[in-house]
Amino acid sequence: GENVEQHPSTLSVQEGDSAVIKCTYSDSASNYFPWYKQELGKGPQLIIDIRSNVGEKKDQRIAVTLNKTAKHFSLHITETQPEDSAVYFCAARLYSSASKIIFGSGTRLSIRP
């Protein structure tokens, strides 16, 4: 089955700097890659996603890139702000009727003031 690896597990950046989180996946049939932000005491919330027919997608300060050949995808947050502090999960989903999500292990991002 699909396996998603995520690095780093913790990341601390200065406010205003950029943060990058990287993931790899194992199943080449996966075709949808969402990123979730989880704040303390809350469920995962989708912040951006990318489909396998797209190499890059941007939404304001957040961008995702996908390299299908290498099975790598990354999250880039620019001009980080204190409210960006949270746990971020990458995930992969195989197109199917069930469409279960396979999560990475998470990255705890801390923004230093």
Partner 1 sequence: EPEVTQTPSHQVTQMGQEVILHCVPISNHLYFYWYRQILGQKVEFLVSFYNNEISEKSEIFDDQFSVERPDGSNFTLKIRSTKLEDSAMYFCASRAGTAYNEQFFGPGTRLTVL
Q: Which of residues 78-97 bind partner 1 (CB under 8 A)?
A: 89, 95-97
Does the footprint of partner 1 cover residue 32 (CB under 8 A)?
A: yes
Does the footprint of partner 1 cover residue 33 (CB under 8 A)?
A: no
State in angstroms the smallest separation of the CB of 66 from partner 1. Answer: 15
DSSP conformation class of 84: G
Distance of CA 11 to the CA centre of its chain: 13
State in angstroms the smallest separation of the CB of 20 from partner 1. Answer: 20
- Distance from C-alpha of 72 to C-alpha of 50, rounded to nearest angstrom: 12
State in angstroms the smallest separation of the CB of 42 from partner 1. Answer: 5
Peptide bond just before 8 cis, omega within 30 deg: yes
β-bridge mates for residue 34, sequence order: 49
Does the footprint of partner 1 cover residue 102 (CB under 8 A)?
A: yes
